[in-house]
Amino acid sequence: MVSGPRNEWRVTRQRTRVRGGGAWRGSHPSGGSGVACATPAAGGPAGPAVRFARPPIIEPVTDLETRPARPTLSRAAPALLGYAAVRALGLLALALWSAARDKSAYTLLTARWDSLWYVRVAELGYGYEVRLPNGDVHSNLAFFPLLPWLERLGHAVTPLSYADAGFAVGLLASLAAAWGIFAVADLLYGRRAGVCAVLVWAVLPVGIVQSMAYSESLFTALAAWSLYAVITGRWLTAGALTCAAGLNRPTAVALIAALAVAALLALRERRDGPLRPLAALAIAPLGLVGYLGWVGHEMGDYGGYFALQRGAWAHTFDYGEHTLDVLTSLPVGHFDYLSAFPFADLIGTGVVLLALALLPLLIRERPPAVLVVYTVLTLALVLGSQQIFANVSRYLLPAFPLFLPLAAALRRLTLPQLLLLLGPAALASGSYAGYALFELGVP
């Protein structure tokens, strides 16, 4: 392998390209391995032959300008169809559990736990509280407003109830999220990697949450398209999407910080002019800051939102103490930590360990800084917080950049090989959804 400050390389299954002196000097079909020779540019000296014994599994991200700028619906269609098939399989498994237990699966998807709180915000507005016997108060101020606003809009313009509208928003948002994940992966690694990234995201153990009236799918959609907008220099779009994400989940702080880092890098490198990155930087935090400020004003305490979370919800940032407690208690069979769900916590532990294993691979790839900052901060916020550990798997759903190196490797598989690998994972995901919702009662 020849490397140097004026040589960039990329090996794909279709072709090998060598670039020297800032312009493409030649290409040679390779089919994945073989020999490629750099031909001299017109009027220039002959260059040395460059030999590639075997392409690496994962390739450095060096030539974004050769990737398609627009991930059109037709280009994303295989990813979206594959995603819809996996989610349909999950819903079918849930329906079978429902028939066996004589319970309504649809109620679990639309009117239980968080989804019920969101519906109450949509229907009644803020101010609803549940006072527990020990005096703690569960307030719906803990739930961000974007999803309830969309539920209210859906109810107003269609015959759907608030709960039905929430389910519809969840389904549409999950498709938008899949499309956004495809867009980012396609931009970095090509179309096949985009399809693989979406399928990996779909078969996660808690994939059923993507089909519920929860906020994770909506947040992932906003985050994915915001990150794509930053990478492609669409700063105002990125700022607006990040602002909307701040009205959806508090972990938008990771997205805001990532956009800020990207904007500062663009200013330092004098890319895209100063105005658009600065405008995005100003717009991005408005949603999150605005909602937290409003809650503080309503409660008469500008730290009120965090007081709510620390109270009856027992959700606070503890620098990873609770996560470490769970990870060290599970292997020895101790379940005396906060809100233990042993089997679901075991699944969550597997997801956490997978995330920690994939993070170095992502960093090694040297993707755009906005992806690394967003992913690292998302992991830090989730793993550094005290919470119901069984929920950690779904809180990590928006950390999709972790799966980009895996998708880059999987794209080399044939379709039968990919189905053989991901098919059982999809079945396991659907089965676990029914078990978690009907048997474990995990929120």
* Same domain assignment for residues 116 and 191: yes
Question: Are 144 and 219 found together in one domain?
Answer: yes
Structure tokens at 240: 């607006």
**48 & 192 share domain:** no
The kind and range of the H/E element at 8 are strand 7-11
Q: Are 215 and 119 in contact (CB under 8 A)?
A: no
| Measured distance CA(164)–CA(160) in Å, rounded | 5
Q: What is the pLDDT of residues 131-140, one digit of tens each?
A: 877 777 788 8
Determine if residue 54 is left, alpha or beta; phi over 0 gives left, psi from -120 to 50 gives alpha, anything else beta.
Answer: beta
Question: What residue numbers bound the domain in which 85 lies?
Answer: 70-309+319-440
Residue 64 counted as domain residue: no
In a domain, 2, yes or no: no
Q: Which residue has the higher pLDDT, 26 or 257?
A: 257
DSSP string, 254-321: HHHHHHHHHHHHHHHHT-S-SHHHHHHHHHTTHHHHHHHHHHHHHHT-TTHHHHHHHTTT--EE-TTH
Of the CA atoms within 13 Å of residue 248, those in its CB half-sphere come to 29
DSSP string, 95-129: HHHHHHHT--HHHHHHSSTHHHHHHHHHHH-S--E
Together in a domain, 195 and 304: yes
Total number of domains in the chain: 2
Instruction: Decide if 80 is inside a domain.
Output: yes
Q: Are 46 and 161 members of one domain?
A: no
Q: What is the pLDDT, as a whole number, of residue 27? A: 36
CB atoms near residue 171 (< 10 Å): 19
**Residue 92 and residue 145 share a domain:** yes
Q: Using one digit for the tens of pLDDT, what is the confidence trace for 291-345?
A: 999 999 988 888 889 888 887 778 889 999 999 999 999 988 888 888 888 888 9
Mark whether 328 and 382 lie in a shared domain.
yes
Q: Is the dihedral of CA 87, 420, 432, 192 positive or negative?
A: negative
Q: Are residues 33 and 126 in the same domain?
A: no
> Phi and psi of 43, rounded to 5°?
75, 5
Distances (CA, A) of 375 to 3, 145, 216, 433: 29, 24, 15, 25
Question: Same structural domain for residues 137 and 282?
Answer: yes
**With contact defined as beta carbons under 8 Å apart, do 259 and 284 qualify?**
yes
Is the residue at 14 inside a domain?
yes
What's the gap between Cα 393 and its chain centre? 12
- Each residue's pLDDT tens digit, 59-113: 445 445 454 558 899 999 999 999 999 999 888 888 888 888 878 878 878 877 8
Residues 258 and 213 in one domain: yes
62 falls within a domain? no
Q: Residue 163 pLDDT > 60, yes or no? A: yes
Q: Is 314 among the domain residues?
A: no
8-state DSSP, 208: G
pLDDT at 103: 80
d(CA 365, CA 251): 24
Please tell me which residue, 69 or 240, carries the higher pLDDT value.
Answer: 240
Do both 185 and 74 map to the same domain? yes
Residue 388 has a CB neighbour count (10 Å cut-off) of 20
In a domain, 28, yes or no: yes
Looking at the fold, whether 78 and 52 belong to one and the same domain comes out as: no
- Does the pLDDT of residue 398 top 60, yes or no? yes
First to last CA, the chain: 51
State the sign of the Cα–Cα–Cα–Cα dihedral 350, 354, 355, 356: positive
